[in-house]
Every structure is written in C-alpha cells, then in structure tokens.
Amino acid sequence: MSRTWLHRWQLKTAAGVTRICGRLFSANGDRYDLVVIGGGSGGLACAKEAAGLGAQVAVLDYVVPSVQGSSWGLGGTCVNVGCIPKKLMHHAALLGEGIRDSRSYGWKVEEERPELVWSQLLSTVQGHIKSLNWGHRVQLKDKNVTYLNAKGKLLDRHTISALNMKGEVTEVKASNIVLATGTRPKIPDIPGAAEHCITSDDLFMLRKPPGKTLVVGASYVGLECAGFLTGLGFDTSLLIRSIPLRGFDQDMARLIVRNMERHGTVVHHNSIPVKVERLDDGRLDVVWQHTNQNEGGLERGVFQDVFDTVLVATGRGPDSKALGLDAVSVETDVESGKVIVDERDETTVPHIFCIGDAADGRPELTPVAIKAGKLLSRRLFGNSTHNMDYNNIPTTVFTPMEYGCVGLSTEKAINQFGSENIETYHAFYHPLELTIPPERENQLEDHYIKTVCVREGNDDRVVGIHFLGPNAGEVIQGFAVAMRAPGGLPMSQITSTIGIHPTNAEEVVKLYITKSSGRDPVVTGC
C-alpha cells in the first residue's frame, strides 16, 4: 500500500476524524488540515499540492482595494498586477519598436510612427488576466480545495477569522496555517502622493492612456514600467533617489539606466519628490529636489514639471498588522514587517508557516513562492524532508534591454570571497538583428555580458552570470541549470561549450577577456 494512498484512506476514515502530523482535528464543518491565507501563486501552489496529497484544504483570498480603488480576482500580484500584465505590455512595446525596425528590413510601413490604441491593449491584457482568474477557480474546484473570498486574520495558532465582502465573519479551524499574502506597494509620505499618485496596482487598469508620466523609484518595478511606457510612445520621466536596482549587480544596473536614457526615458538622477498637487485641468504638478543641492533648478536643486500621471514605485511591504500576528506571537522583522521563518518556512509559532514575498529574507519572485509552497505541502503531507534551496535563483528584469542574472553580483561576490579572489570575464557585443536599423545605433554599446568567478587553482568557478540583451530571460534560464551542477560550474565548462551561431547567447560561451587584463572588452561577430 503506497504512502499517498494510505494517507488518503486515513483522511476518509475514523468517523470523520483526521490525524495529521500527530494532531487530531475533525474533518467536518469548517475544520481543515491546511488553511492558506492568500490566493497568490505561492498560496495556490501550496494548497493544490496539499490537496493532491489527500489533505483537506481551504484557501482564503481577499484583495483590499488600492488607495485609488483598484482590485482584482484570484491569482495574486503576479497574475493580476505584476509579472503577467508587465510582460504583456513590455512585449507590446517591443512589437512597436519591431514595426519601426522593419522598415530597415524592407517592410513598407505607412505610419511614420505606429500609434498605440491604449483601450485595445488594456482590453487584451485584462481579458487574458480574467481567463487566468477563472482558471485558478476551476483548478481549486477540481482539486476539492475550498475557496473563501474572505480576509483572514489569526485568532490563535489554529483558528482564523474570515471576513467576507458582506461583512460576515466566520471562524475556520486548521491544523496547519500558511501565510502567503505577499506584499503591496508603499506610498511615499509626501504631500499629495496618496491622493493623486498611482502604483503598479493601478497602472494595468487605467481606463485612459497614462499620457505624460513620471515614475518615482528605480526598483525593478519602476524601471520596467518606465521602460515599457516609453516604448509604448508615452513621454516618460524617471526619478532615481540614489542607486538603481539596489541589490542587483551595479555594473549592469548603470548600463540599464544609460540604455533607457538612449531609449527615450528622461532620467533625473539623485532626485526625490517633494509634493504633488492636482491642477484645475486634472494634470499633476510635481516638485522634486536634487539630493545634491549644488545642482541648478528653480532654487538650489528644486525642480518642477507637470504630468498627466505619477506612478510611485518606491518599494513594497507586507500588511502584517492585518493578519493579527501579534495576537499569536508570530514574530516579524522590525524594519520590513516581514514574517521571520526558519529553513522549513515555519514561523516562530509551531504549525504556522509563511512563504513567498511576505517571508523575511526570501527572494520576491513568483517561481520561488510556487516551489516553496509545493515543497512545504510535501513536507507536511507527503513525508518529504526536502527544504527549499534559495541559492542560485535566476531572474530577469524586463527593461527595454532585458537583464537576466543568476548567482552573485560582483558586489556580493567581493563581500563573500574578497576582491583579490574574484575574476570577471566580460564582453560588450552587438546583437546581429539590431545592427541593421540606423535608429538602434546608439543603443548597441550597452549590450554586455559577464561571469563573476572565484579563482580556484587552474580554473575559475563561476558564481554569477549576468546578461544584458534581447531575450535575457530565455538565455539565463539555461545557464541557471548549469549553475546548479554538483560541485559548481567551472569557467572552463562554459568556454569549452560550442555556441549556437548566430545568437546572442553564444556570446556567453565565447567569453575570454578578463577585467584584470585591462583589455578592451568590445567583441565583434564573425
């Protein structure tokens, strides 16, 4: 008799009483083996995996509308206001640029500059999102997972208060509770920001074109939004307080911003917003200040301009207080508010777990939350002991020139191994397909690749791969597999690999110039 079959049989016997991990709970009424608070990618993956292993599972999901009133369906940030609509709008921007490039390849395009119909783009994107919302509902039903459109709050370590849209409150009991509520955008504490600015929670639902837009913040969210808005034809400006893409490799971050400027985004470096006011005609008057007040401007580093839309992307945070964590002594990080967890994703309170963006010290990435959720359910209900490995996780920033990476940044590698033990192989290259259109000439210089290595004997061990260029995510995904090889990835393994020609990815396996050599890293094709 298999363990899975036996476990399912146990759940259906003993007069409706279930034994999970040595604890007795009734399988009748509002009592479950697992309750997941949060219907995002991680929470749904955790719930479906547990149900597939025979557990009785419920998911509570409730979207608190944004400050501007935006709300959405089941699926969390990624599906509704994150990865999916972002990638679709990024692709739409690339298509517009591709149409313009096509003239150089002999295509006859009537319009000098293709015009975007915002309402059609919005309808297409939202239509796809709604299909995903419905798909998640169907999958939960197929897995016999109870779905409650209610806001969950902990009353004790096994009891949850569920508040639905009608204001009705019910109590739900669970032997195990998983917090998977993710994060929401933070609104900067400046006059007019909360009243007049939007966030990424609102951008993908704007009923009218954003027009002239100011994006505040240089996180990956800010850079991605500014990038595709520029590509879609909107006059877009970006305020950067200090460094872009904090936590990412800064060589790559600087090149991304430089490319965005060449791409058409107006970038204001070392700048912070001071106030936002709505004018009589509906536009927004914005005042910002240069952090170096010796700069010019209206008065000692103060600047002003008028915009149709102001999007703030100044960080995200969890709504820890709404979960009632204090009532059950679940500890959170003082600064971030994120839930403190151990290597098993368990909080400071037994039987209460946290996965995804709301957990402290975890990468804020959808695939990470999904994998962590599945592994957690397997440990709880499938006799697994396999914990999530948070090392060498790949990711991509979908700016106009995409940036994909896996492993350590230069800064983190130096901090971990010491600068004297680090060697970097790098190259500037020109994507073949972009060398034909003359409009692309000033953008070619920023395409860059590097591997960050630790010197080890006669070979170098790769601890980070960074790629700037077309389809960066597709390129890095394959190299990420190699990075997880037992014993690590020797640089010789990369350079001994035959490239696929002509591709951009082959430039990675052709790397041979080291930073320490001082040689010009610009390379040419065959």
CATH 3.30.390.30 placement within the chain: 401-517
pLDDT tens digits, the chain, 526 residues: what are they? 444 433 443 443 332 333 333 333 334 446 999 999 999 999 999 999 999 999 999 999 999 999 999 999 999 999 999 999 999 999 999 999 999 999 999 999 887 778 999 999 999 999 999 999 999 999 999 999 999 999 999 999 999 999 999 999 999 999 999 999 999 999 999 999 999 999 999 999 999 999 999 999 999 999 999 999 999 999 999 999 999 999 999 999 999 999 999 999 999 999 999 999 999 999 999 999 998 755 444 446 899 999 999 999 999 999 888 999 999 999 999 999 999 999 999 999 999 999 999 999 999 999 999 999 999 999 999 999 999 999 999 999 999 999 999 999 999 999 999 999 999 999 999 999 999 999 999 888 899 999 999 999 889 999 999 999 999 999 999 999 999 999 999 999 999 999 999 999 999 999 999 999 999 999 987 7
Please say whether the beta carbons of 121 and 127 come within 8 A: no
The whole-angstrom separation of Cα 467 and Cα 450 is 7
The runs of H, that is alpha helices, within 189-333 are 193-196, 200-203, 220-231, 250-263, 325-328
At a CB cut-off of 8 Å and minimum separation 6, what does 91 contact? none
Top-tier CATH class for 193-314 = alpha beta
The whole-angstrom separation of Cα 309 and Cα 306 is 9
At a CB cut-off of 8 Å and minimum separation 6, what does 497 contact? 509
Return the SS3 of 190. coil
At a CB cut-off of 8 Å and minimum separation 6, what does 420 contact? none
Q: Would residue 386 show up in a list of annotated catalytic residues for this protein?
A: no
Dmax over CA atoms of the chain, in Å, equals: 79
CATH 3.50.50.60 placement within the chain: 17-67+132-183+318-381, 193-314
Assigned CATH for 17-67+132-183+318-381: 3.50.50.60
The whole-angstrom separation of Cα 268 and Cα 289 is 10
Which among 64, 80, 84, 47 is positioned nearest to 149, based on CA atoms?
A: 64
pTM summary value: 0.92
Please say whether the beta carbons of 207 and 290 come within 8 A: no
Say which of 158, 263, 269, 501 is annotated catalytic: 501
- For domain 401-517, the CATH superfamily is FAD/NAD-linked reductase, C-terminal dimerisation domain (3.30.390.30)
At a CB cut-off of 8 Å and minimum separation 6, what does 493 contact? 482
Cis peptide before 502 (omega within 30 of 0): yes
